[in-house]
């Protein structure tokens, strides 16, 4: 039982975390057009089936005078991924946190994941992936910006 308790503390530890703590350490920049941190590995647990899903997160933002350390973006992903979660909500929570704390001109979060509730049970389609994205600010208004980010993610 103690092993299971420690595992649950690790897997669901994001419930006790605040992304604002990670995003509070900021640096001033004068001119920076786009920041993209891609291929951030994450693991989460589906709140519907209590089964894992895992994949990669990609975060792009347009700074408005301040940036955050790159590891802080990965820590933000971890904060929200370490909760019972659905991918759609996870994507929005990360975008909202970055938008709130960094106040960028825009933010875009793209997440791609394999869900074991589809690959190991039910329809059993291993290798299928779900892609979600959330846009705020200038990314919401500009198809060209979104297209640019998708192209950079594929590189």
pLDDT tens digit sequence for 24-38: 999 999 878 899 999
pLDDT digits (tens, 9 = 90+) for 58-75: 999 999 999 999 899 999
Helices H / strands E in the chain, number of each: 7, 7
Is the overall model pTM greater than 0.85, yes or no?
A: yes
- Give the active site residues: 46-49, 87, 115, 117
Q: Are strands 35-46 and 84-85 parallel, antiparallel or unpaired?
A: parallel
14/112 Cα distance (integer angstroms): 20
Q: Which residues contact 88 (CB under 8 A, 6 or more apart)?
A: 132
What six digits make up the tokens of 69?
Answer: 């350390």
């Amino acid at each position: 039982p103690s092993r299971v308790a420690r595992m649950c503390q690790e897997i669901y530890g994001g419930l006790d975390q605040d992304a604002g703590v990670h995003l509070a350490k900021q640096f001033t920049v004068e001119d920076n057009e786009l920041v993209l941190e891609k291929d951030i590995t994450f693991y989460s647990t589906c709140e519907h089936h209590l089964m894992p899903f895992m994949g990669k997160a990609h975060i792009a933002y347009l700074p408005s005078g301040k940036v955050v350390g790159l590891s802080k973006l990965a820590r933000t992903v971890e904060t929200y991924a370490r909760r019972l979660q659905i991918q759609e909500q996870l994507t929005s929570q990360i975008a909202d946190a970055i938008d709130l704390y960094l106040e960028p001109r825009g933010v875009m979060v793209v997440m791609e994941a394999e869900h074991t509730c589809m690959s190991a049970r039910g329809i059993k389609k291993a290798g299928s992936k779900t892609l979600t994205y959330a846009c705020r600010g200038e990314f919401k208004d500009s198809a060209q910006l979104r297209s640019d980010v998708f192209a950079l993610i594929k590189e």
